[in-house]
Amino acid sequence: MMRKCVLLLISLGIISLFVGPVLAQEGAAEPARSLEVHWLAIAMGIAAAGCGIAQSRAVAGGCEGVSRNPGAVDTIRFFIILGLAFIEFLALLTFVVILILA
Amino acid sequence: MEHHEFFISTVFNRYIANPIAERLGFHPHHDALPPHLVMVILISLGLIIFALVVRRRFSVERPGGIQQFLELLTEGILSLGQDIIGSHPRRFFPLLGGLFLYILTGNLLGLFPGFMSPTSNLNVTASCGVIVFLYYNYVGFRENGFWKYMAHFAGPSLVIAPLLFVIEIISHCARPFSLSVRLFGNIFAEELILQTLNSLFPFLISLPVMGLALFASTVQAFIFIVLTMVYLGGALEHSHEEADE
């Protein structure tokens, strides 16, 4: 139930992004109002969100591994750092693309 | 992007680089060398001079702080190399240790006022990435022979070899790109955040970000050499397989 409400709200939010040009086509019924968005900023936000989810899963897996086997802390620490850097790299690629396009 | 004036760059250019350039016949309007090149020269020369000076002070019985730190670094890189490359990590130690110190110093110097990180410029990080790419391919060619090294791109079976060859070539060519862009993006983003925060709230707010920057700089240097070791290990693994048999 909760999950369906959240999904509904998110989809309404995404749809509302496309409302701007549609309103412009309806004619002079309402004052001209442009809903311009910075698509680049949204792209960075999506990349950051994906990066956040993935890194949280990586760290969670690492923490669980350490809790199950405290002796393997050094190995797991190494894998956590390595994995975080790889995931971070993807969000960083988006950032670099944004720098190039702007 | 705004063009910032860095103290070290203006000083270096005014007293050293511009006079040399004018004697050579160029007449630079502004600075002869861009700031990242100034920092690269300073760091390279600084590390070489540091290494030459510190050598005399090493002693076995009473090691000082610097010696202990360098020994820690050496042992860490060698043991990591043993785990990842598999054999004779000492052979690659000049490259790995040198790259690590160069990248670490480059990243950390940007936090001082008046300096900039040379690694926040794509040209500098691309130079590191291209060197690693050329070197591990050179090692692979020398160890395995030209045709055997090319053959390992084809993979285990002959059926999918054409497709796999193309995929392997593409993924190998993506390696210097990913190495350099990863380092560049991290350090450039960190510098951008610091510049933005410092323009808003001058002193205090940027201190936690600098703490994060210390950690991230070290991690990025570490990741760079770990990936170098992985690529070297991949280039060498076929000679290992034959040595085991």
- What is the DSSP code string of B1-50? ------HHHHHHIIIIIHHHHHHHT---SS-SS-HHHHHHHHHHHHHHHH
Tell me what the mean pLDDT of segment A26-50 comes to. 78
For B217, nearest residue in chain A (alpha carbons): A85
pLDDT > 70? residue B77: yes
Report DSSP state, residue A12.
Answer: H
- The Cα B48–Cα B102 span in angstroms is 10
pLDDT (0 to 100) of residue B73? 93
* Bigger pLDDT: A49 vs B10: A49
| C-beta atoms of A85 and B184 within 8 A | no
Tell me the whole-structure pTM to 2 decimals.
Answer: 0.81
Residues A52 and A95 in one domain: yes
- Contacts of residue B84, Cβ cutoff 8 Å, sequence gap at least 6: B226, B229, B230, B233
pLDDT (0 to 100) of residue B241? 58
- The Cα B68–Cα B73 span in angstroms is 9
Instruction: Return the structure tokens found at A3.
Output: 């999950």
* Bigger pLDDT: B241 vs A13: A13
User: Where in the sequence is the domain holding A29, given as residue range(s)?
Assistant: 1-36
pLDDT > 90? residue B208: no
C-alpha closest to that of B111 among B46, B201, B206: B206
A96: which chain B residues are within 8 Å (Cβ-Cβ)?
181, 184-185
Q: State the amino acid at position B168 in one-letter form.
A: E
Chain A contact for B185, CB < 8 A? yes
Residues A72 and A102 in one domain: yes
Interface A:B, Cβ pairs < 8 A: 27
A89: distance to nearest CA of chain B, Å?
Answer: 6
Share of chain B above pLDDT 90, in %: 47
Chain A contact for B181, CB < 8 A? yes
pLDDT (0 to 100) of residue A94? 92
Which residues of A make CB contacts under 8 Å with B?
81-82, 85, 88-89, 92-93, 95-96
B182: which chain A residues are within 8 Å (Cβ-Cβ)?
85, 88-89, 92
Residues A63 and A45 in one domain: yes
Residues A17 and A53 in one domain: no
- The Cα B114–Cα B226 span in angstroms is 31
Question: What average pLDDT does the structure give for chain B?
Answer: 87
* Bigger pLDDT: B1 vs B140: B140
Give residue B1's pLDDT band: very low, low, confident or very high (50, 70, 90): very low
What angle in degrees, to the nearest 10, is found between the helix axes of B206-244 and B122-144?
Answer: 10
Give residue B55's pLDDT band: very low, low, confident or very high (50, 70, 90): confident
B49: distance to nearest CA of chain A, Å?
Answer: 32
Tell me what the mean pLDDT of segment A37-50 comes to. 93
Chain A contact for B178, CB < 8 A? yes
B178: which chain A residues are within 8 Å (Cβ-Cβ)?
89
Residues A45 and A7 in one domain: no
| C-beta atoms of A85 and B223 within 8 A | yes
Residues A31 and A65 in one domain: no
* Bigger pLDDT: B34 vs A16: B34
Nearest to B219 among A85, A92, A96 (CB): A85
Residues A102 and A55 in one domain: yes
Highest mean pLDDT among A64-78, B21-35, B224-238: A64-78
Q: Which residue has the tokens 């350090």?
A: B187
Q: State the amino acid at position B200 in one-letter form.
A: L
Q: Where do the structural domains in chain B lie, given as residue ranges?
A: 64-244
pLDDT > 90? residue B158: no
pLDDT (0 to 100) of residue B240? 61
Chain A contact for B126, CB < 8 A? no
Residues A51 and A95 in one domain: yes
- The Cα B136–Cα B142 span in angstroms is 10
pLDDT > 50? residue B144: yes
C-alpha closest to that of B194 among B222, B176, B216: B216
Give residue B145's pLDDT band: very low, low, confident or very high (50, 70, 90): confident
Say how many domains are in chain A. 2
Instruction: Return the structure tokens found at B127.
Output: 């130079």
**B209 within 8 A of B194, measured Cβ to Cβ:** yes
Chain A contact for B239, CB < 8 A? no
Chain A contact for B218, CB < 8 A? no
Residues A50 and A94 in one domain: yes
Residues A92 and A56 in one domain: yes
pLDDT (0 to 100) of residue A23? 53
Tell me what the mean pLDDT of segment B83-91 comes to. 85
| C-beta atoms of B182 and A81 within 8 A | no
pLDDT > 60? residue A26: no
- The Cα A43–Cα B45 span in angstroms is 42
ipTM (interface predicted TM): 0.70
| C-beta atoms of B185 and A82 within 8 A | no
